[in-house]
Amino acid sequence: MSHLSEWLETRIENTKKAGLYRELRTMNMAPEPEMFIDGWKQIVFSSNNYLGLANDERLLGEANKALLDFGVGSSGSRLTTGNTEWHERLEEKIASFKQTESALLFSNGYLANVGVLSSLPEKGDVLLSDQLNHASIIDGCRLSKAKTIIYDHCDLSDLEVKLKETERYHRRFIVTDGVFSMDGTIAPLDKIISLAKRYHAYVIVDDAHATGVLGENGKGTSEYFGVSPDIVIGTLSKAVGTEGGFVAGSKALIDFLLNHARTFIFQTAIPPASCAASFAALEVMEHSKEKRNLLFSHVKKIQASLKQMGYNVKGEITPIIPVIIGDAEKAVKFAEGLQAKGIYASAIRPPTVAKGESRIRLTITTDHDSKEIDYLVEVFNLIGKELNLIK
C-alpha cells in the first residue's frame, strides 16, 4: 500500500472510531415518501422535496419539452455559449417571485453563497455571520478578504454588541440563513434588518429552506416578515424540487456579480431543461397555500407528539424537525433502529452540529400522509424506550 493510502486509511479509521464515518446510500427511484433505498423499502423523512415537486408531472412535462429543444447540457458558461432564453426567463421569474429588480442563476446554492461572499465584501469590510450558518456561507466568508465575526445564533443583543464594536470598518454585511438547516429555527429577519438600518449595515439572507415554504405565497422569509433584505440567496434544490442556485437583488448587484463572482463566471450554466422545470415549479408554488398548510399541520402534529413523549425537539414551524439525541454513536443507533422499522432519517453528527448535540433530523413533505406520520411517531416511541431516551 502506498504511503498516501496508508495515511488515508488511518484517518478513516479515526473517523470510524469517533462514530463519524459517512456512507452513501442508493435511492432506487424518483423521490417519493416511500422509496427503495439500497433495495429496501423505506418511508423517507429526510428529503428536501418539501412540496413534492421533484417528481411532479407539470415539471416533468416542461423539462421534457426543453430537453428536446435544447439537449441535455448547456455546453458552456453563461458568458460564453451557455446562456439560453430559459435561463433568462427563469431569472425574470425568480426576481418577480422574490420581488426584487433582478436575479442571477448559479449552478447551486452552495456556489451562489460562495460567489456573493467572496466577491462583494472587500478588504476593510466586515461580515457578521450567524454561528449556525450553512457550510457554504462559512466557506464564502473564508474566501472573502473582509474580516468575519461570528455572532451567537439568532442573538440580537450579541449582534448589536458586534455592530457597535465594528463601527471603524468600512462596509458591514450581516449574513444569515433564513431557516437554519440543522435547527429548524427562523432568523428574526425583521429585527435583524432594523438593527442593520440603525448601524448602516447590509443584510444578506440565504433562503434555501424558506423558499416555497414560508410566507403567504411561499416567497420566503422576506414575505413571512414583510421585509426586504439587500440580498436574497437561494437554491432551487429544496422546495422547488430541481437544481440550481440564485441571487436576487438590485440590478446593480446582479450586474456586479455577473462581472465579479468567480463561481458564476467560471462555471458551466445549468441545463436549460432544468431551468424550464424550475420555472414551472415557481408557478405552481405561488398557488400552493393549501399544500403549505398541510405541511405545517403534519409538522405540528409530530412536534407535539414527540415532545409529549419526552423528546428534546428543536426548531419552529418549518419542515425541519431536529430531535436531539446527544451522543453521536447513539444517534447512529437510533437511525439504524428507524431503518430496521422501515423509516429513513439521517443521524446528524459533528462537525455538522456541535459535540453532544447529535440528532435525528426529520424533514416533512406534503406527500407524507397521516398514516405515515402516525407510524413515525409510533416508531419513535418504540426506539426511544429501547435506547432509554424516553420513559
Nearer to ligand PMP, 176 or 288 (CB): 176
**Residue from 185, 237, 263, 365 binding ligand PMP (CB under 6 A):** 237
Using rule CB under 6 A, residue 115 touches ligand PMP: no
**Residue from 102, 108, 278, 366 binding ligand PMP (CB under 6 A):** 108
Nearer to ligand PMP, 245 or 337 (CB): 245
Query: In sequence order, what are the beta bridge partners of 42?
Result: 35
C-alpha distances (whole Å) from 326 to each of 306, 329, 355, 366 are 16, 9, 8, 29
Count of residues binding ligand PMP (CB under 6 A)? 14
Using rule CB under 6 A, residue 130 touches ligand PMP: no
Q: How far is the CB of 177 from ligand PMP (least distance, A)?
A: 5
Binding span for ligand PMP by CB under 6 A among 203-211, 291-299, 332-340, 380-388: 203-211
- Would you tell me how many other CB atoms lie within 10 Å of the CB of residue 387? 14
Using rule CB under 6 A, residue 245 touches ligand PMP: yes
Q: How far is the CB of 178 from ligand PMP (least distance, A)?
A: 8
Question: Is 164 marked active-site?
Answer: no
Omega within 30 of 0 (cis) for the link into 351: yes
Using rule CB under 6 A, residue 359 touches ligand PMP: no
C-alpha distances (whole Å) from 46 to each of 152, 164, 168, 380 are 27, 40, 44, 15
Question: Is 251 marked active-site?
Answer: no
Residues 179-198 interacting with ligand PMP (rule: CB under 6 A): 181
Nearer to ligand PMP, 172 or 238 (CB): 238
Q: How far is the CB of 389 from ligand PMP (least distance, A)?
A: 26
- Terminal CA-to-CA distance of the chain, rounded, Å? 50
Q: How far is the CB of 247 from ligand PMP (least distance, A)?
A: 12
Nearer to ligand PMP, 243 or 372 (CB): 243
Question: Is 371 marked active-site?
Answer: no
Using rule CB under 6 A, residue 235 touches ligand PMP: yes
Closest among 341, 346, 331 to 376, alpha carbons compared = 341
Residue number, nearest CB to ligand PMP: 109
Do 19 and 328 contact (CB within 8 A), yes or no?
yes
Nearer to ligand PMP, 263 or 305 (CB): 263
**Residue from 110, 224, 225, 279 binding ligand PMP (CB under 6 A):** 110
Query: What are the cell numbers at 35?
Result: 422509496
- Would you tell me how many other CB atoms lie within 10 Å of the CB of residue 24? 6
Assign 203 to helix, strand or coil: strand
Q: Which string of b and e fits 224-243 if b means at least 16 CB within 10 Å?
A: bbebebbbbbbbbbbbbbbb
Using rule CB under 6 A, residue 318 touches ligand PMP: no
Calculate ∠ Cα 252-99-48, nearest 5°: 105
Residues 133-172 interacting with ligand PMP (rule: CB under 6 A): 134, 136
Assign 44 to helix, strand or coil: strand
**Residue from 177, 183, 223, 367 binding ligand PMP (CB under 6 A):** 177
Say which residues have a Cβ less than 8 Å from residue 170's Cβ, sequence separation at least 6.
122, 124, 125
Assign 5 to helix, strand or coil: helix
Question: Which are the catalytic amino acids?
Answer: 181, 209, 238
Binding site for ligand PMP (CB under 6 A): 108-110, 113, 134, 136, 177, 181, 206, 208-209, 235, 237, 245
